[in-house]
Amino acid sequence: MLSQEHITGHAATAIDEGGMLTMLVPALTILAVVLCGLFAAMRVKNKAPAFVTVALLAASFVAVLMTYLNLGVEKTWIAHGFDWINFSWSGSENRKLTTHALIANFSFYLDGLTILWMLFVTGLGTLIALYASEYMSHDVGAGYCRFFAAFSLFVFSMACLVMADNFLLLYLGWEGVGLCSYLLIGYFYKKPSAVAAAKKAFIVNRIGDLFLALGIMLIYTHFGSLEYTTVFAQTETYIEALKEGNLEVIPATVQLIPLLLMGGAFGKSAQLPLYVWLPDAMEGPTPVSALIHAATMVTAGVFLVARTYPLFLLSEHALPAVAWIGALTAFFSATIGMAQFDIKRIMAYSTVSQLGYMFCGLGVLTSVGGAFHVFTHAFFKAMLFLACGAVMHGFAGQLDLRKLSGVGFMRGWKVTTVAMLVGCLNLAGFPIITSGYWSKDMILGEAFANPHTQAIGWILLLTAGLTAYYTFRVFFRVFVGPVQYEMGDEHHGAHEDAHGHGEATHAPAHATHATPHAPGWAINTVLAVLAISAFAIIPFTYSHGGWVHTMIEGSTARYEGAAAYLGHGEHAHGTFLGFEAHGALMVVSGIVGAIGIVIAWWLHYAGRTTAATSRADALLPKLGPIPRWAQHKWYVDEFYDFLIVRPLWVLSNIFHFIDQYIVDGIVDLFGAAPSLTGKAVRPSQSGELHSYAAWMAGGMAVLILIVILVAT
């Protein structure tokens, strides 16, 4: 069925002006930033910043929803905010007068893709801000304002990124989310590891951003415009040529653009080889991990590929590269995730892995599947992070799954446990009842349905099994089993007096860390809403993407039935071991997921009596050094350290030496010259009047002697 649609394709979408309501989103979020700044200036010591942020983000969500309900997604709407950059100049090329223009307006490009992304960005933003109002309560005061200001600024930047109608505004948003990510990872700036993680995230992202910037420059030089409408109008003609099998008409420059954009996408979305920053980014507060490093910002790379999908279709190598790197990342990070003990890190590697899935979806030509997985993943991964965050919050920063057990059987942890279970089922792809199953299945099915991507399909299928295992490893270790726990050592900042928990059992400040405290209403509400919505989105989405499909088919991410790498527009049918791919995968992926869950159950739940040990411990030595290597993340960080960081460090030391001793030395020499001269001639100032007179007389005598000798 899908293949049929691939061949028919879709006509270019009509473009119209409208959707000014969406201008409220940047306005409201910036207002939230300003208000949080004012609260900080007024030294507000309550939760006002949180509730202002929640209210304004909710209003943004309503604005997006209203726009969607009013305008629909059949047409693409351009909401013109204001003229931002508008240069024009003329020059001559080949003796012909040409006029150039650089136009980038603060305008929004509203198609299904934009609306889909904005719905979950603002929706989840609202929920997670509500969650954070409780989670960050230890820091009420300046830190609280700083957190919510950066949080709102993030949503603002994300809105610019997603809704931009030109590449420059997209780039602005792209850098903006990077900045907010940096600010929020380094939120606990007194902790060296958090600062290091923030810097790492920022620097690794710079590498990707360089590629994005180059890609955008190349787009401008080739297409002469940065506006989507102009660029995509030109790609239409190339796509028409592709449909007729004329691969040659596409210039090499155009084929290079998607590869550069891909570099940018892989930096932001933490794919090989630039994924290393995301696991470290878990140093940030958990709501940040949930919103930025799981649900929204890291999907910006996927968004970029989806947004510029017409460009990717034009290159022979771009989409296969996207798919392969996505698949390898998915598998690689899943193996690391299996061996970690820090539950937040496990979720981080899982995010990297699932982002790999999304890229695969785009790479194997099911942009609907990719977007669909982004959408479902945003919900269940945010939920998983928030549930882990609730545990971390309640157990004073304890994240080690060997030190926590049976949390679900303790008082007040029911909602968290149920949410965690729902999230785990979704991530593991439990059949039929989870949205994660449907989205993952769509990518898997399409990978097998294409004979060019069978190998990717197998990698993804294996990864699905690993995912189910490591997901339920967390669940079986931490949330069920014998009740046993060890508190973490996190003292919530220096604001002991401002400790915001109203529970009676927490009388002295330090005693609060001795006993776990169950999450309060804000965390529970958010978890419940997310758990319900993880189910509620199934009817919208099951069977080939459903609602998501309608969102994507009118957008730039639609698949046009011609991709350069298939060659001459052919789309042969692949199968899964001789069965029809989509149907077979529905069964097989379900079975693989279930096997993963059962293995996790057997290794980490059945017969387990303590938190620290499980049946898996007996098995591990038999695997030799592999588990240890996986636990050390395959030594990738060490490898990068050796290959890049060390040489750069040495180089910078050399430059530092040159600067300090040679460049500064020369400058200092000029400064030192008068002083040295002074030091040398100072003894002549003996203070004896007679010696001065003698010198003077002697000098005169010498002078006269010279005059006499010269004159005669």
Nearest approach, Cβ of residue 695 and other proteins (Å): 11
697 binds other proteins (CB under 8 A): yes
Segment interacting with other proteins (CB under 8 A) among 76-84, 419-427, 518-526, 685-693: 685-693
Nearer to other proteins, 567 or 698 (CB): 698
Nearest approach, Cβ of residue 669 and other proteins (Å): 23
The alpha-carbon radius of gyration of the chain (Å, integer) is 31
- Pick from 502, 624, 674, 683: which binds other proteins (CB under 8 A)? 683
Nearest approach, Cβ of residue 706 and other proteins (Å): 18
Nearer to other proteins, 69 or 708 (CB): 708
- Pick from 248, 489, 497, 688: which binds other proteins (CB under 8 A)? 688
Nearer to other proteins, 249 or 700 (CB): 700
Nearer to other proteins, 92 or 684 (CB): 684
For residue 541, give the H/E element and its range: helix 538-541
Nearer to other proteins, 412 or 698 (CB): 698
- Pick from 8, 96, 690, 710: which binds other proteins (CB under 8 A)? 690
Angle at 51 between CA 492 and CA 159, to 5 degrees: 100
| 177 touches 158 (CB < 8 A) | yes
Nearest approach, Cβ of residue 688 and other proteins (Å): 6
| 610 touches 405 (CB < 8 A) | yes
Nearest approach, Cβ of residue 684 and other proteins (Å): 7
Nearer to other proteins, 650 or 700 (CB): 700
- Pick from 693, 702, 704, 706: which binds other proteins (CB under 8 A)? 693
Burial 528-537 (b: 16+ CB within 10 A, else e): ebbbebbeeb
Nearest approach, Cβ of residue 686 and other proteins (Å): 5
Angle at 612 between CA 611 and CA 613, to 5 degrees: 105
Nearest approach, Cβ of residue 682 and other proteins (Å): 4
Q: Of 59, 55, 20, 62, whose CA–CA distance to 35 is shortest? A: 55
Tokens read off for 554: 């009118």
- Pick from 689, 708, 709, 710: which binds other proteins (CB under 8 A)? 689
Query: What does each C-alpha distance from 209 to 124, 215, 570, 651 come to in angstroms?
Result: 26, 10, 34, 23
Quickly tell me which residue has 């999908």 as its tokens: 309
Nearer to other proteins, 628 or 679 (CB): 679
- Pick from 7, 42, 667, 694: which binds other proteins (CB under 8 A)? 694
Nearer to other proteins, 1 or 681 (CB): 681
Nearest approach, Cβ of residue 675 and other proteins (Å): 13
- Cα separation, 563 vs 247, whole angstroms: 10
Nearer to other proteins, 90 or 684 (CB): 684
Q: Of 426, 431, 105, whose CA–CA distance to 295 is shortest? A: 426
Residue 661 neighbours by CB distance under 10 Å: 11
- Cα separation, 639 vs 643, whole angstroms: 6
Nearest approach, Cβ of residue 678 and other proteins (Å): 8
Segment interacting with other proteins (CB under 8 A) among 49-57, 286-294, 592-600, 688-696: 688-696
624 binds other proteins (CB under 8 A): no
Angle at 38 between CA 119 and CA 36, to 5 degrees: 25
Nearest approach, Cβ of residue 653 and other proteins (Å): 42
- Pick from 190, 411, 682, 709: which binds other proteins (CB under 8 A)? 682
687 binds other proteins (CB under 8 A): yes
Nearest approach, Cβ of residue 681 and other proteins (Å): 8
Starting from the edge strand earliest in sequence, which strands make up the sheet with 96-110, in order?
15-17, 76-93, 96-110
Instruction: Kindly give, in sequence order, each residue whose CB lies less than 8 Å from that of residue 10, ignoring residues fewer than 6 positions away.
Output: 553, 554, 558, 560
Q: Which of residues 642-681 bind other proteins (CB under 8 A)?
A: 681
Size of the site for other proteins (CB under 8 A): 13
ω before 273 within 30° of 0 (cis)? yes
- Pick from 4, 88, 92, 684: which binds other proteins (CB under 8 A)? 684
Quickly tell me which residue has 């609602």 as its tokens: 547
Query: Looking at residue 571, what DSSP letter applies?
Result: -
Q: Of 498, 582, 352, 496, whose CA–CA distance to 46 is shortest? A: 498
| 407 touches 391 (CB < 8 A) | yes
Nearer to other proteins, 684 or 712 (CB): 684
- Cα separation, 432 vs 364, whole angstroms: 23
Q: Which of residues 556-585 bind other proteins (CB under 8 A)?
A: none
Burial of 376 (0-12, 13-18, 19+ CB in 10 A): buried
Nearer to other proteins, 1 or 689 (CB): 689
Nearer to other proteins, 511 or 694 (CB): 694
Angle at 595 between CA 278 and CA 477, to 5 degrees: 55
Segment interacting with other proteins (CB under 8 A) among 358-366, 506-514, 645-653, 687-695: 687-695
Q: Of 344, 479, 504, 345, whose CA–CA distance to 415 is shortest? A: 479
Nearest approach, Cβ of residue 674 and other proteins (Å): 14
Nearer to other proteins, 635 or 695 (CB): 695
Segment interacting with other proteins (CB under 8 A) among 57-65, 549-557, 569-577, 691-699: 691-699
Nearer to other proteins, 674 or 687 (CB): 687
- Cα separation, 610 vs 603, whole angstroms: 13
Helices (H), ranges, 542-684: 546-553, 581-604, 615-619, 626-631, 636-640, 646-657, 664-681
**Where do contacts with other proteins occur on this chain (CB under 8 A)?**
681-690, 693-694, 697
